[in-house]
Amino acid sequence: MHGDEYYLFRHAIMRDAAYLLHTPTMRGTLHRVALELIEAHFDTELPEPKRNLNTGPLPVDAVVSELARHARFAQDEPYANIEQLRRCEAQFLIRAGNHAERSYDREEAITAWSRLVEVSDGIVCFYALHRLSGNCRAVGRLGEALRLSEQAWRLACAELDSLTKVVALGELALIHWYQDQPDTARRYLEQAAGLLDDGVGKGVEANTIGLLAMVLEQLGRLDEAEARYLRALELLKEAGDKHNEGVFLQNLAGLYIQRARNEEGERLLHRAIRLQRETGDDTNYGVALNNLTVLEIERGNYARAIAYANDALTVHAKVGNRRSLGLALSNRGMAYRKMGEFERAIADFNAGLAIHRELDNRSSESNALAEIVLVEIARDNFDTARALWKHSIALTRSIRSDRDCQEQVDEMRSECRRAGIDPFE
């Protein structure tokens, strides 16, 4: 350790020791003084957040986590104005959660929303639970997300209005969609649809219909899914919700590509990307790049597909979207397989497979396994391919539609014929 590093380390230890030697009440005074000093430097006359706790960026956001901490522990000071400090803490926590989400710092967001759940009630507590669930879902903690969304649903039923019930049901459905449980997700959304006449607004109605479209697509009911995507997009246009318009445009584009309507799909994807760039939605921009990768693979433009996949991987890593990161790896692996670059393909499929299993994304796991089967057949590793096939098709049959199963069977048989062997059972 260099001399300057030693000095700083020793200073930090002594500072922390000095703090800990104070009584909790004296520490409360120190936190109050720190709070006042920072507030004197920044403009902390903050605008009220929206109903869903959304806030726009402000310079003070760089220190709101620190302000929230000082407001929390200043409550230990004798004769502290507890009510005012709790209000301040909640206000700073809301901004801290929003700032962390904009910075793609999911763990910091989870910390802020978790604390807000502890210190709030009513509508604020509901949306803190909702935002906390969404962040847990984003990092793959689906069990925790489900528990939180169920807690939000109970709160909405006990104390709140139809709008919060619809929001809670939508989050519950989305979690079950992530878990490859489309029938359960559909039941939640049908329940939400029964509440849409209670003045919930076009944006919420559109999101509910769009989520139902995603579920119907997962169930293989593609005509119904397309009709609902189109209806959701009409409502989002009317509501002026460009963020979710971009989301469902890209979803509809993916459906079109799945149905070999590639030109329509590409046109919608580029419309979605324009909206995502306009609204700063890098998370869904990365998803759109995944869809463009698939489109170029369908067209046989493998080098272009790999370029899109590389861009997607960069975006997913930036925003911490591991689910889509796994998909991008599998997509790039597919392009390498089609090019005959089997070593690179296997490396990408295995990397993607590890993420799919980490996040319990069984649908993508089954796809990756099926792709590895095709690579192993092409490499004449028939025993390995046969063993993997049994696992792959069993997983696919347990979670996917008959149509999806048949597609995997057809691809396997085609590759076996090319290799001059009998298809696997």
| H helix intervals, 280-301 | 282-299
What's the pLDDT score for residue 11? Answer: 46
The rounded distance, in Å, linking the Cα atoms of 65 and 141 is 23
397-421 exposure pattern, b = at least 16 Cβ within 10 A, e = fewer: eebbbeebbeebbeebeebbeeeee
What's the pLDDT score for residue 19? Answer: 55
Per the document, the length of the chain is 425
The rounded distance, in Å, linking the Cα atoms of 136 and 323 is 12
269-298 exposure pattern, b = at least 16 Cβ within 10 A, e = fewer: bebbbebbeebebbbbbbbbbbbbbbbbbe
**340 C-beta neighbours (distance < 10 Å), count:** 11
Integer CA distances (angstroms), 336 to 11, 187, 348, 352, in order? 54, 39, 9, 14
Cα end-to-end span (Å), the chain: 64
What's the pLDDT score for residue 420? Answer: 86
pTM score: 0.84
Residues sharing a CB contact under 8 Å with residue 259, sequence separation 6 or more, in sequence order:
222
The rounded distance, in Å, linking the Cα atoms of 133 and 172 is 9
Report the candidate in 414, 387, 392 with the shortest Cα–Cα distance to residue 404: 392
The rounded distance, in Å, linking the Cα atoms of 280 and 346 is 34
Structure tokens at 182: 């489309």
Tally of CA atoms within 13 A in the half-sphere of 53 that contains its CB: 29
Q: For every one of its 425 residues, what pLDDT tens digit does the chain have, with 9 covering 90 and above?
A: 555 565 455 545 545 554 555 566 666 777 677 767 777 777 767 888 999 999 999 888 888 888 888 887 877 767 777 788 888 889 989 999 999 999 999 999 999 999 999 999 999 999 999 999 999 999 889 999 999 999 999 999 998 998 999 999 999 999 999 998 999 999 999 999 988 876 778 889 999 999 999 999 988 899 999 999 999 999 999 999 999 999 999 999 999 998 989 999 999 999 999 999 999 999 999 999 999 999 999 999 999 999 999 999 999 999 989 999 999 999 999 999 999 999 999 999 999 999 999 988 888 998 999 999 899 888 988 889 888 888 888 888 887 777 778 888 888 888 888 888 888 87
Q: What are the domain boundaries of the chain?
A: 1-120, 361-425
What's the pLDDT score for residue 38? Answer: 72
